C-alpha cells in the first residue's frame, strides 16, 4: 500500500515538469508558426510591391533560380483548382479546417521536434489561406530549375515550410519508433 502511495507521489511530482514541457512546446510551436507566417507574407509583399513581379513576369537571380509570377488558384500540381467563387471558398474552408486540425495537434503535442514540424505546416498554411482570402489565389514565385528541367513547381515560403514540416513528421514517424516497456509478469 505504501508502495502505491509512493508511486502516486512520484507521478504527481513528474506531472508539473511534463506539463511545463508541453507548455514550452506550445509557445515555441505557435511562435515559430507566427514567424513562418510573417516571413511568408513579407516575402510575398516584397515580390509583389518591390520587385513588381506581376508586371515583370520573371527575374533571374541565379542560373538555376528565378522569381516567376504564378497566381496559384488550386492546391498543388493543378489539383482542386478553384475556378469559381464557390470553389475558392470551399478551398479556403478545407484548408482552414486542416489548419484547425494542425493547431489542435500542435496544442496537444508533447514532443518538441513534432511541435516544430507542425508549426512549419501551420505557419505556411496560414500564409496561403490569407492569400486566398485577400486575393483569391496564392502568390507563388520561387522557381528552381536546371536548364529545361524543373523538378519542383513554382512555390513560396509557405509551401516550402509545409513541405519541410510534413517531411519531418514522416521521417520521425517512419524511422524512429518509440520502444514500449516490456509487459510485466504478474
Instruction: Compute the average pLDDT of residues 156-174.
Output: 95
List, for residues 119-162, the tens digit of each pLDDT value. 999 999 999 999 999 999 999 999 999 988 888 889 999 999 99
For the stretch 8-21, pLDDT in tens is 444 444 566 778 88
pLDDT, tens digit, 9 for 90 and up, residues 93-122: 999 999 999 999 999 999 999 999 999 999
**pLDDT for the residue numbered 101:** 97
CB 110 within 8 A of CB 126: no
- CA distances to 5, 74, 152, 153, 155 from 77, rounded to whole Å, are 59, 8, 10, 7, 11
Full-prediction pTM beyond 0.95?
A: no
Q: Assign 109 to helix, strand or coil.
A: coil
Residue 41 in grid coordinates = 507574407
Sheet containing 58-62: give its strands across. 58-62, 65-72, 138-144
Active site residues: 140, 159
| Percent of the chain topping pLDDT 90 | 68
Amino acid at each position: 500500500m505504501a508502495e502505491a502511495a509512493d508511486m502516486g507521489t512520484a507521478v504527481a511530482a513528474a506531472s508539473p515538469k511534463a506539463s511545463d514541457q508541453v507548455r514550452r512546446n506550445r509557445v515555441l510551436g505557435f511562435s515559430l508558426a507566427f514567424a513562418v507566417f510573417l516571413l511568408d507574407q513579407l516575402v510575398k509583399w516584397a515580390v509583389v510591391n518591390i520587385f513588381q513581379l506581376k508586371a515583370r513576369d520573371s527575374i533571374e537571380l541565379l542560373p538555376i533560380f528565378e522569381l516567376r509570377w504564378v497566381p496559384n488558384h488550386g492546391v498543388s500540381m493543378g489539383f482542386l483548382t478553384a475556378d469559381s467563387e464557390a470553389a475558392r471558398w470551399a478551398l479556403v474552408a478545407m484548408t482552414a479546417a486542416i489548419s484547425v486540425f494542425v493547431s489542435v495537434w500542435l496544442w496537444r503535442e508533447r514532443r518538441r521536434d513534432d511541435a516544430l514540424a507542425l508549426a512549419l505546416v501551420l505557419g505556411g498554411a496560414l500564409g496561403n489561406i490569407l492569400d486566398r482570402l485577400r486575393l483569391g489565389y496564392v502568390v507563388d514565385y520561387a522557381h528552381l530549375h536546371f536548364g529545361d528541367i524543373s523538378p519542383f513547381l513554382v512555390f513560396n515560403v509557405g509551401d516550402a515550410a509545409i513541405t519541410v514540416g510534413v517531411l519531418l513528421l514522416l521521417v520521425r514517424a517512419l524511422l524512429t519508433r518509440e520502444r514500449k516497456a516490456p509487459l510485466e509478469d504478474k
